[in-house]
Structure 1
């Protein structure tokens, strides 16, 4: 073995032939771990860039190891060799028989060993590094493996895919801040020199990187296809990723010449139970937890083995693990899911597993419908929003599989028949209308779906769209003798009368519906009808309004339904305002804005912020009122709706806006309204509570300082970082995946030129103050 007596750098690290892109956080963390421990293992799915990261760190660290930095590729040899033999051959050592013997030869050496691709020799590698750590003092080991070595003293860093843009961030300037896009851009320009990410192709590049989950090797394979295809064509064909993504490099190992071969390598390292579970988990489009996996994937073959197989797939980097409150969830990258799906089809089990998947989510939808008005409202919101991809997958299966249409109709009706509907109103309409078209036969499910679709339209104030749905629902319910839906038609006809400002008729109809729901013990619909009844009473100045508002609030408190209480506070505040107590009204409505996390229910928020704008205008706080109207309008849009064009809310809004335009003047009103419209939901809450928004603005509405370089979502996250939120906390607060939160934080660091969250917090607090 060579020594460092001459002062030359010693080792066998290859020269980097292409630029290293991104990974600022991971680079810093690996270097930190190597400083505190002697064994660092980089884990992650095949193709995620473990080897490239390890080599980059090792290259930077060469001067710290006078006896060399040595790369040992444990998968390079076609004939299997022991790790001891491969290390000895790399170092030029002879007559080394076992780990202890190797350790003896390395005693007194100060070197770094990079053990690459340990996963297929995991037990032998664990034994080797164990002896090296025990019998030497200054040998450090940087290992890459798709699963842990489980050696004493092991520090582990999971290497994630590269951050990718959100699909709605597809501007050329914005997407190039993401490492996945920069990687594609650079590798594609090496193939087609004139290629550059621009306004014309930014959306296609974003879509491609998104579909490839930011997996570096897949992105590099896609860039190679630029020789024959445009980026738009590659993005369009990514569904055939295993045929599309390959390399013809003569020096690449066979397992790295195709994306399929790379994943197949991992598959054959799995146990029989792990392979079976991998295939069955491919029916999940997004995330799942252990309970769900057990119900969907176990048909008796995997009895009592799902937990162990799940743990094994996590250890082998097939499943990503993310925390969500008290539940741990698992996610599979798209390429791994597609490979698993191919295996599932080969097994002949696909239809059986998809039906178990359907049954689980159908039961979950019905349970949500039965329990939404209760203490678990927050958990149901999180669960339904967090598994939106699964609801969509099940509905697609039902609406495209002959014989499953009725189940799809039942699920769509269950999902959108209560106020905790997790998606925008527009998405709800699209699914309900597809389901209604797929199963036009008369049924109780159809009546319920018609009712749900009408309910969504009325929630956004669209009476003309709701009217024919209600009429068809009424006729069908009468034909079927469905008393529940007949009561529902009466309820929604009463709500329509509120929107038409025919308050006496609304009061009579809603009273009838409420009596039916109370008699049948339907607490959820009782409360929504009571809220609508209180609304009618408040706007017609009925003396019974105060008692009805109090009853709305008491029902929420008794049931523990804190999310529904926002609406109760809204109508109570309006009642107090109309009775002349603006201060009490403001206090009550602001109570609805107290939850510590950004709520999913932007419609409820819009109502509250709008009402506070009316009250502020009455108190001659004209610019503030205009800002709140702008913020409310943005919240309406984010929910897929718009301010109702008819009804008492629209009239109150029009009266308020007209008065503000007259008092402030057109230009001043427009500027204040625009400032409110740029606020994020959390900033809108702060402003509605009469606190300063998180991001300061100039008089003309331009963002300043830190906020000026960040997108709206990044400003929202930067404020949470400043408040001490971890990535896990941010993911929970904003109902996004933890990996997405990590990507946003990484981009904030990059844009602001920082290397730590502490710097972000300090800069934010310095400019905008602590919140």
Structure 2
């Protein structure tokens, strides 16, 4: 039996953790005495860093892991529960409220939830925390906030600044001085305290031991020695003291440190700092260039200005699958936002921000059914905070809701793969439809997407009026593409009602319409549903033909994520015909791709069908184990059983037979064994993969030295053209190397190559 691995999503520490021995000891004691501990204190005092260390140290005590939710990018309380679900890796596929699904998912789990930066929505956090703690007896919550949250039973720990050296004592082992020295060495490798120990100690005293202020000051060693830093800080504090006597001293200190960093920026860097505050979380270079250029900053100047802000520790950099991403610390972003708000540029910047994500949504919709599916999933996952902010702007700004309609409906695949929440997409789309009632083609498209969302959750009663309104509007506007989608999803609705003949006629009509207008993605989706309907009608030859055409389309377009779903539906068709071995081979072939791309719904469907196949083979114990694993997968997308009624019927019939053969005790034991597996372990079990084998994954030696070199450049985010230039080879040769790498490693995208290289070659 496989031992379950610890789970969690805590980030790696990129810099050393300094001091806090007493605070850690006290927090550990408090964690044994309370189920909710809130770390409070002013901005920059180190709440987040301390909480992350506490959580990491406590990891082994929680069977189901330690999970971080950054509350800072969220705009309202409605988005809190979906964000927690997302961070936990669960999918909200059900029509119920997200907090209800979250309660159900956590009630039997033993985990630590770290809610970071809660001060801008204390009531929403308190309400959700109270519900979760009341329903999940083994749940613990660790929160950070600048104020207490008011949860019943909450224990509050005010995080102090770092300890400071007394005058006259050696500062060498002091926490604040050590932090300065370590950060100084990072920017000036030959830095040692030496004769500077007392000036550094004095500087730390002036900064009140606030870690953020100390780190910002250490970054100034690139341009000034310690003594000059101290002099400039003295001058600044005297100036500030006259203006901010009513401000908390620590806030004055932190503000002074950021003021000083702002003064050291040149005018263009200051402008970019303010403009970049329009991003709620991480952002990429392309977005910064498009949104923040203009009015004195050319697009090709943005990169150099970003480098300047990085050098001054204004921005932090992270690497995501070979591409650079940037973000502010929370206080620094707030500082920039205050400047932006006073500049008069904010309304225009927010509209440009929204327009960037509207353009991104249009591109994603157009390019989705093609070779870049995996890259789009990854990119949209990284951009989800920006997407949500763009949607909030469009929904809150008068006259802009039409843009929200288009963003949500264009990104129907985003809510499935990247955001992980059909429920969230459905709620946002419903809100946008209410806010933008105008009769436009955008509304017509949004109506059929809303119907598709409802059907995906088995909600036929809600879908039918939406399809009816879409049909009427499309006819008025002469919008044939929307009429085609109405035929398609009316066919799916008929299938869910059990009227398979009507479903077949409507789906065949839709397929012809999609072909006529060249909509390849529409043709593929219709074929997928035709396989299911032909199978339900007992027409195995037609189902097999539709499945073969569905697979061929994916392979012709190199749409590998769609191909994994096509393999599943082809396997389902074989199961209907009784060809169990062929069905298992097809489903398993797609399952590993689904796992690699975190297609939770696809994994759940695959485990479900494989359980049916094992039962047909007389392997009732394996079937029961797979039912247990499938149950966990179904709950991770927000439902307890297969969501569509025909599959629920098959599930119930098969499960009843397996339980009858095994007996209640043996069935429960096998089922619980499957339910105790992680998603990765469940997939390994279904695929008969032994992770103890050294050959479980391709090793670096599989590649030639040149291919390893190319894989490294792919991991750095270089295009084939850039790789060719770097290695002084023809672009076609570079393309050939990349194709060989993917073939050897059984990978389907550059993102997967980057991930493989990071895991195996670094």
Distance 1:672 1:692, change over 3 A: farther
1:113-160 CA-to-partner distances (Å, cap 9, x unmatched) read xxxxxxxxxxxxxxxxxxxxxxxxxxxxxxxxxxxxxxxxxxxxxxxx
Contact 2:161-2:208 at 8 Å conserved across structures: no
Task: Say what the alpha-carbon RMSD is for the aligned residues.
Answer: 4.2
Q: Which residue of 1 aligns with 2:255?
A: 260
**Following the alignment from structure 2 to structure 1, what is the Cα–Cα distance between the partners of residues 367 and 398?**
31
State which drifts further: 627-636 or 525-534. Answer: 627-636
Match of 1:769 in 2: none
Is residue 369 of structure 2 the alignment partner of residue 373 of structure 1?
yes
Match of 2:592, SS? coil
8 A Cα contact 2:528 2:566, kept in partner: yes
Q: Is 1:530 matched with 2:467?
A: no
1:644-655 map, 5 Å: 644=642, 646-655=644-653
Contact 2:47 2:144 in 1 (8 A): no
Residue among 530, 538, 550 paired with 1:552: 550
**Which residue of the partner structure matches residue 287 of structure 2?**
292
Identify the range of structure 1 (614-623 vs 513-522) with the bigger mean alpha-carbon deviation: 614-623
CA contact (8 A) 1:165 1:206 kept: no
Query: SS of 1:330's equivalent?
Result: strand
In the alignment, which residue of structure 1 is the partner of 2:735? none
- The aligned residue for residue 586 of structure 2 is 588
Matches within 5 A, 1:498-537: 498-537=495-534
For residue 322 of structure 1, give the secondary structure of its aligned residue in structure 2.
strand
C-alpha separation in 2, matches of 1:16 and 1:444: 60
1:333 aligns with 2:329: yes
Unaligned 5+ residue runs, structure 2?
1-17, 26-42, 51-65, 70-83, 89-105, 119-135, 150-156, 163-204, 211-232, 241-248, 702-710, 716-762
Which secondary structure does the structure 1 equivalent of 2:264 belong to? coil
Instruction: Answer whether contact 1:164 1:209 (CA < 8 A) is retained.
Output: no
Matched, 1:413 2:416: no
Give the secondary-structure state (helix, strand or coil) at the position aligned to 1:486.
helix
Deviation, 1:642, is 4.9
User: Does the 8 Å CA contact 1:462/1:644 hold for their aligned counterparts?
Assistant: no
Q: Pick from 264, 271, 284: which aligns with 1:276? A: 271
Q: Distance in 2 between matches of 1:293 and 1:588?
A: 43
Aligned position for 1:352:
348
Give 1:314 deviation, angstroms: 1.6
**Partners of 1:302 and 1:529 in 2: how far apart?**
48
CA deviations on 1:717-759 (whole Å, 9 max, x unpaired) are: xx99x999xxxx9xx99xxxxxxxxxxxxxxxxxxxxxxxxxx
- State TM-score, norm by structure 2: 0.61
SS in 2 for 1:329: strand
- Please show how residues 550-699 of structure 1 align to structure 2 within 5 Å: 550-595=548-593, 598-644=596-642, 646-691=644-689
Secondary structure in 2 aligned to 1:328?
strand
TM-score under structure 1 length normalisation: 0.60
Shift of residue 596, structure 1, vs aligned partner:
9.0
Give, in whole Å, the separation in 1 of the partners of 2:627 and 2:137. Answer: 35
1:541 to 538, 543, 558: 538
1:179 Cα deviation from its structure 2 partner: 12
> How many residues are treated as equivalent by the alignment?
513
CA distance in 2, matches of 1:222, 1:452: 52
More helix by share: 2
Taking the TM superposition and a 5 Å limit, the aligned residue runs for 1:741-752 are none
Q: Which residue in 1 is equivalent to 2:145?
A: 208
The structure showing larger relative contact order (alpha-carbon pairs under 8 Å, at least 6 residues apart) is 2
1 CA distance for matches of 2:662 and 2:146?
A: 47
The 3-state SS of whatever aligns with 2:561 is coil
Contact residue 510 and residue 533 of structure 1 kept, 8 A: yes
Q: How far apart are residue 610 of structure 1 and its match?
A: 0.9
When residues 307 and 272 of structure 1 are mapped into structure 2, their CA distance, relative to the original with a 3 A threshold, is same
| Residue 390 (structure 2) pairs with residue 394 (structure 1) | yes
Question: What is the alpha-carbon distance in structure 2 between the residues aligned to residue 312 and residue 489 of structure 1?
Answer: 52
Structure 1 residues 249 and 280, CA, compared in 2 at 3 Å: closer, same or farther?
closer
Contact 1:164 / 1:206 at 8 angstroms: preserved in 2? no
SS of match in other structure, 1:285: coil
Task: Quickly say closer, same or farther: Cα 1:643–1:468, change in 2 above 3 A.
Answer: farther
Q: Which moved more, 1:629-638 or 1:586-595?
A: 629-638
Query: 1:483 and 2:480 equivalent?
Result: yes
Q: Distance in 2 between matches of 1:397 and 1:656?
A: 48
Secondary structure at 1:441's aligned position in 2?
Answer: coil
**C-alpha distance in 2, partners of 1:206/1:537?**
52
Q: Distance in 2 between matches of 1:434 and 1:200?
A: 35
| Per-residue deviation, residues 232-251 of structure 1 (Å, max 9, x unmatched) | xxxxxxxxxxxxxxx99989
**Residue number in structure 2 paired with 1:19:** 22
1:593-649 C-alpha deviation (Å, 9 max, x unpaired): 233963232112211111111101111111221222232232233223453455421
Change over 3 Å in CA distance of 1:211–1:292 after alignment to 2: farther
